[in-house]
Amino acid sequence: MISDQKAILKDIDRLGIGYQIKIYLVEQEDWQQHFYQLSLDSYQDEQLFLNYTSSITLSGLALSKEKQIKEVNLVGKDCCFSGELGLSSPKLGQKFTNVKRSLNSRWKCVVNIANQNQNLNLIIALDNGQEITWGKITFQQVKLNKLNPDKINNKPINNKLANKINLIYNSRQLMVENLSKNKNYLFAIGNARSGTTALGRLLNSSPEICLGIERYSKDDDVSAMSFEQDYFFDTNSRGYLVRPHFYEKIRDKFDAAKYIGDKRPRFIESWKNTFLNLPQAKIVYIFRNIDDVACSYNVRASNAAQGLDRYWRPSRDFSEAVKDWNEGIREITKLAQFFQVYFVKYEDFFVKQSKMIQLFNYLGVNTKNRDTQIGVRKIRETALCLQRKERTLSDREKKYIESNADFEAYNKLLALYEKQFKKERKKLNS
């Protein structure tokens, strides 16, 4: 029987209502005489997103039907992007039809852009040689269209779906408000026994990052409201009651933190639900080779069988490690199409200080402060000690892993990881 949550997400997919966010200039000046609206939509696999993607769709209304637009350019520091124009006004979830010129008052174009962290100028060239410039476009000024449950495709919807649509809308509005205050959302994720705890600890060593620890189950509807201070530090919540000392320790940095979020190993099982509510969240995904993951599962299963680990099942051994590992690495490639994902490879991350610093640089947080430097050093020392521990698998276990682990999916994940660092090396060399 399909769960309520899965049924709701299926309805959202069918209706195509979950993904569009529009970006507007705050100061309209006198441009209303030229445009009814200007929007920038990120574009991915027949859906529209505000997110980290290479294509941005611009749309607006031209001066009049008589004045044809010849070209639309998006110009920033040391960059210029041209786009083709499209006539149609697509429904949410559809691609734009690309044509050379706009013969009516509406124009749309798709441009490629690599860096969203800059101000941009939109320059529109008309057939008569005139150029119109709309300046200082940024990617933080967001306004959402109200999702009206009663008017979606003129079809009635049930109360549960209507409530979910309203939650999406309210969460995104709050997300936008916090983004404007430089308060971002961050999740540290990965398969079990793959280093998520150490990753969360490392990130929390920064005064600019405030992460909870596994505050949510896979079925929780995690939204921007989940990261408001009163909710985050609710003394009656499950997360707080399990680790009250930890939450009191990080309370003082919440207001000033640049990132708020959570360490969520099981995020991969419910990422789509969170994406609907928080499409601008960043993800740090840590992965580990299957042999070491399987060994770690065996250790905890053995401890559980002896009554030494009440949070683990004795049956959750190497075979379940393979099952969980396969599911995680298959799903991450889907997730990476939508979220901003930074990949971390367990085997070389914690033992190399430079890799940890690279992650902090990616997030744009200071690595020179004393707390972060101490955190990096401690994590590295612990990792070096753990590396010296020898763990082995039996021949039977190795054979099982060889036959059942999805190494093809793992190689795809490694390719994404290598691609990430090719981009970083390219930035450093430019």
Rg (CA), the chain: 24
**Burial class of residue 256, CB neighbours in 10 A (0-12, 13-18, 19+):** exposed
Whether the CB-CB separation of 87 and 102 falls below 8 Å is answered with yes
**Burial class of residue 310, CB neighbours in 10 A (0-12, 13-18, 19+):** exposed
CA distance 83 to 60: 14
CA distance 24 to 138: 9
For domain 20-143, the question of CATH label 1.20.950 is answered with no
CA distance 109 to 125: 13
Angle, helices 395-404/318-335, rounded to nearest 10 degrees: 30
Q: Which residues of the chain have pLDDT under 50?
A: 1, 17-54, 62-65, 84-105, 116, 139-146, 153
**Which residue has tokens 């939508």?**
338
Whether the CB-CB separation of 192 and 218 falls below 8 Å is answered with no
Residue 352 has what pLDDT? 92
Q: Which two tokens stand for residue 265?
A: 């190993």
Whether the CB-CB separation of 188 and 286 falls below 8 Å is answered with yes
pLDDT one-digit tens code per residue, 222-239? 999 999 999 999 988 888
pLDDT one-digit tens code per residue, 330-386? 999 878 766 778 999 999 999 999 999 999 999 999 999 999 999 999 999 998 888
Residue 340 has what pLDDT? 75
Residue 398 has what pLDDT? 96
CA distance 225 to 276: 13
**Which residue has tokens 């200082």?**
136
Q: 182-429, which class in CATH?
A: alpha beta
Residue 138 has what pLDDT? 54
| Domains in the chain: boundaries | 20-143, 182-429
Cβ of 23: how many Cβ atoms within 10 Å? 20
pTM above 0.75, yes or no: no
C-alpha pair distances (Å), 372 with each of 44, 333, 386: 36, 30, 21
